[in-house]
Amino acid sequence: MQNQDISTEIMGLEKRYWDAMRDRDLESAVNLTYFPCIVSSEHGVQSVDREQFEKMFNSNEGSFKEWKIDEGKAQVRQIGPDTAVIAYTVHSSVVKDGKTQEIDAVDTSTWVKRNEKWVCAMHTETLMH
């Protein structure tokens, strides 16, 4: 049986990350990231250092208007004392080029503990069609 405390903690961190993206809170997003962070999405796979992350974050490619994780279907597993993974479905509204797009996706993150603090080392997003 999965430790409920770690599930709650990792889900809380994932939500804080989404809030930081929605609120355009670069400092919070940086503080939640372990660099270089591996990112996999419809744009391919890349290893992103802090400078690249800040540039991507500050670009005007699109912004989250709102998001909602389906917590009932989320899965969290602690792999070791300093590593945990999470997978979930998420619905988000994104504004791109002045138009709102509704997106349903399956996301995963790998969280690692560094200096007694959990940070995201890898994130993937797969769009659902």
| Dihedral (Cα; 3, 7, 8, 11), 10-degree rounding | 170
Q: What is the model's pLDDT at position 65? A: 87
Instruction: Tell the CATH topology of 4-127.
Output: Nuclear Transport Factor 2; Chain: A, (3.10.450)
Q: Which tens digits make up the pLDDT trace of 12-69? A: 999 999 999 999 999 999 999 999 999 999 889 999 999 999 999 988 677 788 999 9
Q: Which tens digits make up the pLDDT trace of 41-50? A: 988 999 999 9
Q: Which residues contact 29 (CB under 8 A, 6 or more apart)?
A: 17, 20, 21, 53, 57
Peptide bond preceding 36: is omega within 30 degrees of 0, i.e. cis? yes
Global confidence as pTM: 0.92
